[in-house]
Amino acid sequence: MEEFHKVRRLPPYVFEQVNRLKADARAKGIDIIDLGMGNPDLPTPQAIVDKLVDTVRDPRTHRYSSSRGIPGLRRAQANYYARRFGVKLNPDTQVVATLGSKEGFANMAQAITAPGDVVICPNPTYPIHAFGFIMSGGVIRSIQAEPDASFIPALERAVKHSIPKPIALILNYPSNPTAHVATLDFYKDVVDFAKKNDLILLSDLAYAEIFFDDTPPPSILQVPGAIDVAVEFTSMSKTFSMPGWRMGFAVGNERLISALTRVKSYLDYGAFTPIQVAASAALNGDGSDIEEVRSIYRKRRDVMVESFGRAGFNVPPPAATMFAWAPIPEQYRAMGSLEFSKLLIEHADVAVAPGIGFGEHGDDYVRLALVENEHRIRQAARNIKRFLQASAEGRFDNVIPLSARR
Ligand X SMILES: Cc1ncc(COP(=O)(O)O)c(C=O)c1O
> Residue numbers of the site for ligand X (CB under 6 A)?
38, 100-102, 126, 172, 176, 204, 206, 235, 237, 243, 248
CB 100, min distance to ligand X, A: 3
Residue 64's Cβ-count burial label (10 Å; 0-12, 13-18, 19+) is: exposed
Q: Which is nearer to ligand X, 204 or 289 (CB)?
A: 204
CB-wise, 55 or 107, nearer to ligand X? 107
Minimum Å gap between C-beta 20 and ligand X is 20
The CA distance from 90 to 238, in Å, is: 25
What contacts 152, CB < 8 A, 6 or more positions away?
189, 190, 193
Least Å from the CB of residue 66 to ligand X: 19
Nearest CA-CA partner of 167 in 222, 208, 112: 112
Q: At what angle do helices 254-267 and 101-112 cross, to 10 degrees?
A: 100
Report how far apart, in Å, the C-alpha atoms of 110 and of each of 37, 137, 267, 278, 331 are: 26, 8, 12, 29, 43
User: What Rg value do the Cα atoms of the chain yield, rounded?
Assistant: 22
The distance of closest approach from Cβ of residue 121 to ligand X in the complex, given in angstroms and rounded to an integer, is 12
Which helix (H) or strand (E) is 178 found in, with range? Answer: none
Residues 136 and 157: beta-carbon distance below 8 Å: no
42 vs 295: CA distance, rounded Å? 12
- Let me know: does 133 contact 121? Beta carbons within 8 Å: yes
Q: Rank residues 246 and 378 by Cβ distance to ligand X and give the closer one.
A: 246
- Render 196-235 in DSSP notation, one character per residue: HHT-EEEEE-TTTT-B-SSSPPPPGGGSTTGGGTEEEEEE
Residue nearest to ligand X (CB): 100
Minimum Å distance from CB 361 to ligand X?
A: 16
- Residues with Cβ within 8 Å of 77's Cβ and at least 6 positions away in sequence, in order, are 69, 89, 91, 95, 97, 234, 249, 251, 283
CB closer to ligand X out of 134 and 399 = 134
Query: Shortest distance, CB of residue 75 to ligand X, whole angstroms?
Result: 20
**Nearest CB to ligand X, comparing residues 132 and 166:** 132
Dihedral sign (CA 218, 219, 220, 225): negative
Angle CA 271–249–232, to nearest 5: 160
Q: Which one, 103 or 339, has the nearer CB to ligand X?
A: 103
**Cβ distance to ligand X smaller for residue 78 or 99:** 99
Least distance in angstroms from the C-beta of 126 to ligand X: 4
Between 122 and 166, whose beta carbon lies closer to ligand X? 122
User: Which amino acid would we find at residue 170?
Assistant: I
Q: Least distance (Å) from ligand X to the CB of residue 43? A: 16
C-beta closer to ligand X: residue 136 or 235: 235
Q: Which residues pair with 367 in a beta bridge?
A: 325, 353
We find the least distance from the C-beta atom of residue 136 to ligand X, in angstroms, to be 17
Cβ closest to ligand X, residue 176 vs residue 391:
176
Least distance (Å) between residue 107 CB and ligand X = 12
